[in-house]
Amino acid sequence: MNLSVNGRAHEIESPAPTTLLDVLREELGIHSPKVGCEQGGCGACTVLVDGEPRRACLMPVAAVDGAEITTVEGLGTPDDLEPLQAAFVHHYAAQCGFCTSGLLMAAKAYIDGGGTDDREAIAEALGGHVCRCTGYVKILDAVAATARGDQFDITTTAEGQYTTMHTGGDS
């Protein structure tokens, strides 16, 4: 079996029934897709399969033979964040971060598909993604900001919000 992951071709050695999640994490060492419920219920393992968000814990790798897979590692870099990643930082949409990879990939598909800043539409696109830190409002803020094309300097903005938070401001 063969996969293209973040633009790089891989020949897969794991047995055909191995989940895509295990192939990514254990065989290829790509750790942004998280192991949550492993039952399709939490969204932490979500990656893009040919541009569509899919739960990697439910997919035998044989079912995606030849597919193009995108994970968070295929988005921006620390020095050059993808707009969605920058928006998550700016809006404090990640707390523990465990859900964040899956949410970023679902949001990426939404934005790439021409999604708007309509909060109900965003909530629907992110439906079924569980954030145990309950950061949902800020996640919606981040995706809406990306859809609008908002620009921000995450270095100064994050610092400003941090200062506000820790001086009892209204953040």
Q: Out of 25, 55, 90, 138, which residue is the one contacting ligand FES (CB under 6 A)?
A: 55
Q: Is 69 in the site for ligand FES (CB under 6 A)?
A: no
Residue with smaller CB distance to ligand FES, 98 or 152: 98
Residue with smaller CB distance to ligand FES, 73 or 79: 73
Q: Is 95 in the site for ligand FES (CB under 6 A)?
A: yes
Tell me how far apart the alpha carbons of residues 71 and 73 are, in angstroms, rounded to a whole number: 5
Q: Out of 41, 121, 152, 158, which residue is the one contacting ligand FES (CB under 6 A)?
A: 41
Tell me how far apart the alpha carbons of residues 142 and 154 are, in angstroms, rounded to a whole number: 12
Query: Could you tell me which stretch among 71-79, 89-97, 143-151, 162-170 binds ligand FES (CB under 6 A)?
Result: 89-97
Nearest to 48 by CA among 95, 5, 99, 98: 5
Enter the DSSP assignment of 147: H
Tell me how far apart the alpha carbons of residues 20 and 17 are, in angstroms, rounded to a whole number: 9
List Cβ neighbours of 149 (8 Å cut-off, separation of 6 or more): 83
Q: Is 140 in the site for ligand FES (CB under 6 A)?
A: no
CB of residue 114 to ligand FES, shortest distance in Å: 25
Q: Is 99 in the site for ligand FES (CB under 6 A)?
A: yes
List Cβ neighbours of 123 (8 Å cut-off, separation of 6 or more): 140
Chain residues in the site for ligand FES (CB under 6 A)? 35-38, 40-45, 55, 57, 94-100, 131-133, 135
